[in-house]
Amino acid sequence: MTAIALVRQRILVPAAIALVLAVAAAGFWYWQVRSAPPGPSGISTAALPEGFKPMDPPMQMGGFAFQDAEGNTVRLADFKGRPIILNIWAKWCAPCLVEMPELNRLQSEAAPGTLAVVTVAVDEPDPAKVRDFLANRRWDALKPYLDPKNVFAKALNIKSIPVSLLIDKDGFALVRVDAPVAWYSDESIRLLKRTIGL
């Protein structure tokens, strides 16, 4: 083998290996992009009732953790495949308590395995007190959840409550409202159908 052939071999072999690796990496990237579930499309502010705001971009909520009445960790991902109304509230919050009966009714009328109304108390570290508070008002369809670490308040930059988010079946928060809602109004029902497929 001549010196020129040796030099060519030393240059061409690593170049061919680099080219094969680059093509493999590009193919893997393309496969990842094509197989990933698409994020939800944006929602126009004009299409929303007063007070509702689109989450732009939609926010993946699956990893957010809170507690149930037994002190177990629950994640929004545990409700995957179901649309969610996430409601952040407190026992002392009068506007929060105004909408709770309708949230309870929405959950009680939902078929099993469909809509999840997840009401998370942010003012109480004692699960038994949240459970008793709901039970004393006969809001039996709502499970007692709490957020003693204020995960939602920090992540969503919550300044006042109640706050509700409409989350689709893939765990993306699409719409937010920082006020109590008349959940059975015509425009609220239309919004629930249009955004989370209720």
Q: How confident is the model at residue 23 (pLDDT cuts 50, 70, 90)?
A: low
Q: Does residue 155 surpass a pLDDT of 50? A: yes
Q: Strand locations in the chain, DSSP E?
A: 52-60, 65-67, 73-75, 84-89, 116-121, 145-146, 163-167, 172-177
Q: How confident is the model at residue 37 (pLDDT cuts 50, 70, 90)?
A: very low
Q: Does residue 17 surpass a pLDDT of 70? A: no
Residue at token pair 């006969």: 138
Q: Do residues 62 and 78 lie in contact, with contact meaning Cβ atoms separated by under 8 Å?
A: no
Residue at token pair 């493999």: 24
Q: Does residue 12 surpass a pLDDT of 90? A: no
More confident: 78 or 25: 78
| CATH fold label, 45-196 | Glutaredoxin (3.40.30)
Average pLDDT over residues 145-161: 93
Domain boundaries in the chain? 1-36, 45-196
Integer angstrom CA distances of residue 93 from 37, 90, 173:
38, 5, 23
Q: Do residues 195 and 43 lie in contact, with contact meaning Cβ atoms separated by under 8 Å?
A: yes
Q: Does residue 22 surpass a pLDDT of 70? A: no
Q: Does residue 46 surpass a pLDDT of 80? A: no
CA nearest neighbour of 118 among 72, 86, 82, 157? 86
Global pTM reads: 0.78
